[in-house]
Structure 1
Amino acid sequence: MCGITGAIWNRPDGAITPAQIQGMADAIRHRGPDDEGFYNAPFHRDAAGDVPGVGLGFRRLSIIDLEGARQPLCNEDQSMWMVFNGEIYNYPTLRRRLEGAGHQFRTDGDGENILHLYEDVGLDCFSHLNGMFAIAIWDANRRRLVLGRDRLGQKPLYYTIQDGRLLFASELKSFATIPGVLETIDPAAIDEFLTYQYIPHPNTIWKGVFKLPPGHWAIYQDGQLTVKRYWDIAFDQEEKISEPEAIEQLRELLTDSVRLRLQADVPVGAFLSGGIDSSLMVALAQKQRTDPIRTFSIGFPNKDFDETAYAQQVADYVHTKHTRFEVQPDGVSIIDKLVWHYDEPFGDSSAIPTWYLSELTRGEVTVALSGDGGDELFGGYERYRALWLSRKLQQVFPVHKLPGLGLIQKLPDSSRRRSIVRRGKRFLEALGQPAPRRYLNWLQIFPESMRAEMYADGFVSQLPGEDPFEFLHDAWKRSDGRDLVTQASMADLQTYLPCDLMTKVDIASMAHGLEVRQPMLDYRVVELAARLPVAMKFRGRRGKLLLRSTFEKEIPASIWTRPKMGFGVPISDWFRNELKPMVHDLLLDPNAKLNQYMRPEAIASMVQLHVSGQQNHSYRLWNLLVLEKWLRRWTGGSQPVQ
């Protein structure tokens, strides 16, 4: 697990110096505190023409082959060089095959297998990898740079092409060390951020800077970039399979996925929230260990946001060595840390507990398993139940035309996490919309109507014609012909999972030098779940049916039936208490940077309605606060480097 950076240039005057590559790597030192490495080859000409200049930078977090496996790695004749971030879990199998084909290995790590595999099968190499990764390969014989990202977007990879050169990095802050790269904010990205609380791939907050989408490779050759998908699922295809067959396949695949992710030469533990997914990962991991696995949960003084009692039940049941951390989350101080590390506006407030949990877990282990992906794959989110229920109601009568609906919308909100009024209002206001729009209404932070009312006229004129909704809709349409729950869950798999959840976990964990592995996201498990009939996963408002049928006795019965809490902090109360001064100082400041995009009176009204308890705008205020903080941190006139 590491951080990678690099560049390729086609003209001598576009060269990135070794010192600049060093600076790009230094900016992400936190991703790899154990080691560093570099490769540099200047632009030159030979008998065949121009040979691009190349620089590769690497920061290492040592997990496997601690003394060896240093990067950049090269092949036998040094015609290919590679840096990569991630873990390849099937590398022992790959190695045996590659050694049988005559390849010579210098290391015992997983990375060298990628390079030799690329030698044998070229761009098809990514399809052979089971793991999480962001990869850059300099192929001197073909004079091309190859980039690749894992199927589910677990590891990030950014790139930009400017002035005849391409730069890439694990985090945007590496680009901030090169003058002139991060210059112009993309207005469309702000609109996308306020819709989703993240900026969807391939866009970033900066014009001309992009994320390589999950499951894609890119080639930069002769000054041209080609991007292509290498992994795809036929989301519109449902498999005819019996439940016993599905149970057998799921048990085999998920057990093997956990086994592969326990490989390490450093201490391995697991996050344990007490929810179904993390509990199941812990149980399957403990069955494959002779010693108690280390498990970690985090609690808060506010009991509405503390589920550590459930985690302790699981730990006792499967006999792990459990540690419960309790923290008093400090919204005032942590927001600056998040703004620095997440590089672009990121408004998912569950990054806060993820940050604390990663920081404290890293004090005990270097690798942690997590249960990410279970909700998307097996129908676990409450919004899937809402989608199912709304369809049932619409089949009976037009609920959205009921008298008194407007009165319901005026009821005061509660700050309680599972407020029935707040959830009911969001449900009812979306009933009259087509299913994809209805679903976005439950997901989005600022509805389109609210954004239109809030935006300044000058900002509206800068926005493109594309609607942020198209990002979700394009993913939704790939499951045409399937039921609504499948369409929603598979859309989440392509959008919310990589752009929100994986970003949140990667940045929070790597900020502390912790590697997080997600067994649910083994591509074999994902492919199985995607083609299963919905009735095996979700039925009668209940999700994760197949998980329970397969693994019911692995975890306590109470965990299967407990209410879902998610992972959050009491930001609604914060805005009425400890964050109230910050809101007034930043969002209501006449010189707020947000004022170049939004009408100050609209923001002031939102603040007043929340503080008075008339409406709950907590998530909207958090996103606005993050955006204002980000604008001040990264566009303040000085070079945005810590």
Structure 2
Amino acid sequence: MCGITGAVWLDERAAIDAPLLTRMTDAIMHRGPDDDGHWIDPRQVDGQGRNYGVALGFRRLSIIDVAGAAQPMGNEDGSLQMVFNGEIYNYKTLRRRLEGNGHRFKTDGDGETIVHLYEDLGTGCFAELNGMFAIGLWDQRRSRLILARDRIGQKPVYYAFDGQRLVFGSELKCLAAVEGVCEELDPAAIDEFLTYQYVPYPGTIWKGVRKLPPGHYLVLEKGNLSVHKYWDFDPTLERPVSRDQAVERLRELLTDSVRYRLQSDVPLGSFLSGGIDSSLITALAAAQRDEPIRTFSIGFPVADFDETEHAAKVAAHLGTDHQRFEVDPSGAEIIEKLVWHFDEPFGDSSAVPTWYLSELTRREVTVALSGDGGDELFAGYERYRALWLSVRLRRMFPIHRMPGIGLVQRLPDSNKQYSLLRRAKRFFEALEQPEARRYLNWLQIFPERMRADLYSDDFVQQLPGEDPFEFLDTVWQQSEGRDVVTRASITDLLSYLPCDLCTKVDVASMAHALEVRQPMLDHRVVEFASSLPVGLKFRGKRGKLLLEDAFGELIPRSIFHRRKMGFGIPIGKWFREELKPMVHDTLLADNAKIGPFFNRESVERLVGQHERMENNHGYRLWNLLILEQWLRRWT
């Protein structure tokens, strides 16, 4: 696990010299504190006589082949140079095949497999890899740079190309070290951020800077840039299968996925929240190890947000070496750290507990397993049930047109995390909308009507004609023909998972040089789960049925039937207490950075309604505060 960066330039005036490349790699030192590496060739000539310059930079967190496998890494004759962030879990199988084809290996690591596989297959090599990865590869013979990202989007790739120079990196900090790259804000990105709490790919907060989409690779050759999809995943495909067959296949795939992810030359453990997904991953890992696996959970002083008693129950059942961390998170203290590490506005408040858990776990191990992906793949989210119910209700009778429904929206809100009233408000608000729009209603932070009220006239004039909804709708349309629950889960798989959850885990863990592996996001598991008929996973009020059928004997049955808590913090309470001074000193200040974008009266109204408990705007205020603090730090 590492951080990568680099550049290719056609104009010597845009060259990346050694000191600048060092600044680009030092910007992500936290991702790889064990070693660094640099490779620069300022004068390469392509077949048409044009000069190229190339620079590759690397920071290393040593996991496999700790003593070797330094990067940048080349092939036998040096005509290929590569930097790579992530893990290739099937590298031993691929290595045996490549050695049979005559390739000679210099290291015992997984990265060198990519170099030799590219020699044999070209860009077809990425479809052979099972792993999480971001790859930068310079092919001297063809004078081309290739960037690639794993199928699910667990590892990030940012890049900017102005026609004369392409720069890339694992984080925007790498690009920000280069003058003239991260300079102009994209107004559309602010609109998208307030809709989704993240900036969706392929855009970023900066104009001219892009994210490589998951499952894609980029080629810069002869001055032309092109982006290609290599993952042949078909979201419309549904395969009939019996429950017994599905159980057997899922056991096989997920057990093998965990086995792959237990490969490590450094200490390894597992996150254990006490929920279904982390408990199952831990159980499968414990069954494949000779000694007890180390497990870690995090507790909070607010009961609504503390799952550690359930984690302890699972740990005792599995006989793990369990450690519970207790933290009392400080919103004012943590927000500055999040803003620096996330590079662009990121408003998922569960980044806070993920941050603390990663920080404390890293004191004990270097690699941790996680249960991410279970909700998306096996229909675990409450919003799937709400969407399913809304479809049934609309078919039976037009409840969304009944008198009095609007009164629900005007009732005082609750401060509790799992407020029945808050859920009812969202449900009835969404009933009148088409399915995709209805689903956005459960996801969005600021609905369209609230954003319209929030934005200043000058900011509205800067926005393009595109609606942020188009991102979600484009993904939704990819699963045309499937049932509504499957469409929602596949939409999350292709949008929310890479843009939010994977980003959160990558940034929060790598900030502390902790590698987090997510067995449920093995592409074989993803493709299989996505192809299943919905009845095997979801029925009525319950999801994750297949997980219980396949693995119910591994963990206490009560874990499958308890209320889902999520991974949250008391945001609503914070904004009435601890964060109240910061809100008034920043968001409501005369020199507020958000001032040019928003109507002050609208922001004051949100703050006032929340403080008077007329409405719970906690998550909205968190996103506004993140944006304000980000603007103060990066602009």
Give the letter aligned to residue 300 of structure 1: F
Correspondence for 1:194: 194
Q: What is the Cα deviation at residue 14 of structure 1?
A: 1.6
Contact 1:11-1:43 within 8 A present in 2 as well: no
Give the letter aligned to residue 298 of structure 1: I
Give the letter aligned to residue 326 of structure 2: E
Contact 1:90-1:260 within 8 A present in 2 as well: yes
Correspondence for 1:568: 568
Contact 2:367-2:514 within 8 A present in 1 as well: yes
Partner Cα distance (1:463, 1:565) in 2: 37
Q: CA RMSD in A?
A: 0.8
Contact 2:73-2:112 within 8 A present in 1 as well: yes
Q: What is the Cα deviation at residue 232 of structure 1?
A: 2.9
- Indicate the SS of the match to 2:298: strand
- Indicate the SS of the match to 1:356: helix
Correspondence for 2:445: 445
Residue 282 to residue 419, structure 1, CA distance change in 2 (3 Å): same
Contact 1:44-1:53 within 8 A present in 2 as well: yes
Correspondence for 2:345: 345
- Indicate the SS of the match to 1:205: coil
1:292-313 Cα deviation digits (max 9, x unpaired)? 0000000000000000000001
Partner Cα distance (1:82, 1:595) in 2: 44
Partner Cα distance (2:15, 2:479) in 1: 45
Correspondence for 1:269: 269
Correspondence for 2:419: 419
Within a 5 Å distance, the mapping from 1:7-156 to structure 2 comes to 7-45=7-45, 48-156=48-156
Within a 5 Å distance, the mapping from 1:504-523 to structure 2 comes to 504-523=504-523
Within a 5 Å distance, the mapping from 1:143-222 to structure 2 comes to 143-162=143-162, 164-222=164-222
Give the letter aligned to residue 85 of structure 1: N
Correspondence for 2:386: 386
Within a 5 Å distance, the mapping from 1:338-417 to structure 2 comes to 338-417=338-417
Partner Cα distance (2:233, 2:136) in 1: 24
1:487-533 Cα deviation digits (max 9, x unpaired)? 00000000000000000000000000000000000000001011100
Correspondence for 1:638: none
Partner Cα distance (1:600, 1:223) in 2: 46
Correspondence for 2:231: 231
Partner Cα distance (1:381, 1:111) in 2: 36
User: For this pair of structures, how many residues does the alignment match?
Assistant: 635
Correspondence for 1:584: 584
- Indicate the SS of the match to 1:325: strand
Correspondence for 2:320: 320
Give the letter aligned to residue 162 of structure 1: D
- Indicate the SS of the match to 2:206: coil
- Indicate the SS of the match to 1:594: coil
Give the letter aligned to residue 627 of structure 1: L
Partner Cα distance (2:445, 2:398) in 1: 26
- Indicate the SS of the match to 2:462: coil
Within a 5 Å distance, the mapping from 1:471-510 to structure 2 comes to 471-510=471-510
Give the letter aligned to residue 604 of structure 2: A
Q: What is the Cα deviation at residue 46 of structure 1?
A: 7.3
- Indicate the SS of the match to 2:339: helix
Partner Cα distance (1:33, 1:340) in 2: 18
Q: What is the Cα deviation at residue 45 of structure 1?
A: 4.2
Q: What is the Cα deviation at residue 237 of structure 1?
A: 1.4
Partner Cα distance (1:24, 1:125) in 2: 28
- Indicate the SS of the match to 2:553: helix
Q: What is the Cα deviation at residue 223 of structure 1?
A: 1.4
Contact 1:370-1:517 within 8 A present in 2 as well: yes
Partner Cα distance (2:114, 2:455) in 1: 48
Give the letter aligned to residue 147 of structure 1: L
Partner Cα distance (1:124, 1:42) in 2: 28
1:346-368 Cα deviation digits (max 9, x unpaired)? 00000000000000000000000
Partner Cα distance (1:78, 1:15) in 2: 22
Partner Cα distance (1:178, 1:377) in 2: 39
1:609 and 2:570 matched: no
Partner Cα distance (1:14, 1:190) in 2: 29
Which ranges of structure 2 fall in alignment gaps of 5 or more residues? none
Residue 613 to residue 94, structure 1, CA distance change in 2 (3 Å): same
Contact 2:236-2:480 within 8 A present in 1 as well: yes
1:237-289 Cα deviation digits (max 9, x unpaired)? 11011111111110000000000000000011000000000000000000000
Residue 47 to residue 589, structure 1, CA distance change in 2 (3 Å): closer
Give the letter aligned to residue 278 of structure 1: S
Correspondence for 1:294: 294
Q: What is the Cα deviation at residue 439 of structure 1?
A: 0.6
Q: What is the Cα deviation at residue 77 of structure 1?
A: 0.2
- Indicate the SS of the match to 1:553: coil
Partner Cα distance (1:427, 1:324) in 2: 36
Contact 1:388-1:541 within 8 A present in 2 as well: no
Residue 76 to residue 571, structure 1, CA distance change in 2 (3 Å): same
Contact 2:46-2:52 within 8 A present in 1 as well: no
Give the letter aligned to residue 420 of structure 2: I
Partner Cα distance (2:77, 2:519) in 1: 36
Q: What is the Cα deviation at residue 233 of structure 1?
A: 1.5
1:632 and 2:632 matched: yes
1:434 and 2:434 matched: yes
Contact 1:537-1:545 within 8 A present in 2 as well: yes
Give the letter aligned to residue 304 of structure 2: D
- Indicate the SS of the match to 1:482: coil
Over 3 Å off, 4+ runs: 44-48
- Indicate the SS of the match to 2:575: helix
Correspondence for 1:543: 543
Partner Cα distance (2:150, 2:137) in 1: 15
Correspondence for 2:621: 621
Partner Cα distance (1:232, 1:477) in 2: 16
Correspondence for 1:554: 554
Partner Cα distance (1:298, 1:191) in 2: 34
Partner Cα distance (2:189, 2:45) in 1: 40
Give the letter aligned to residue 184 of structure 1: E
Correspondence for 1:253: 253
Partner Cα distance (1:143, 1:246) in 2: 47
Identity of paired residues, percent?
Answer: 66
- Indicate the SS of the match to 2:106: coil
Partner Cα distance (1:603, 1:48) in 2: 57
Partner Cα distance (1:558, 1:541) in 2: 16
- Indicate the SS of the match to 2:415: coil
Contact 2:163-2:223 within 8 A present in 1 as well: no
Partner Cα distance (1:485, 1:46) in 2: 51
Could you tell which deviates more after superposition, 229-238 or 187-196?
229-238
Contact 1:12-1:43 within 8 A present in 2 as well: no
Partner Cα distance (2:241, 2:44) in 1: 58
Partner Cα distance (2:232, 2:196) in 1: 24
- Indicate the SS of the match to 2:50: strand
Q: What is the Cα deviation at residue 162 of structure 1?
A: 2.4
Contact 1:9-1:43 within 8 A present in 2 as well: no
Q: What is the Cα deviation at residue 163 of structure 1?
A: 5.4
Partner Cα distance (1:317, 1:411) in 2: 44
Q: What is the Cα deviation at residue 51 of structure 1?
A: 3.8
1:519-560 Cα deviation digits (max 9, x unpaired)? 000000001011100000101121001111111101101101
Partner Cα distance (1:402, 1:618) in 2: 29
Contact 1:10-1:222 within 8 A present in 2 as well: no
Contact 2:46-2:142 within 8 A present in 1 as well: no
- Indicate the SS of the match to 1:86: strand
Q: What is the Cα deviation at residue 234 of structure 1?
A: 1.3
Partner Cα distance (1:53, 1:99) in 2: 32
Could you tell which deviates more after superposition, 471-480 or 48-57?
48-57
Give the letter aligned to residue 148 of structure 1: A
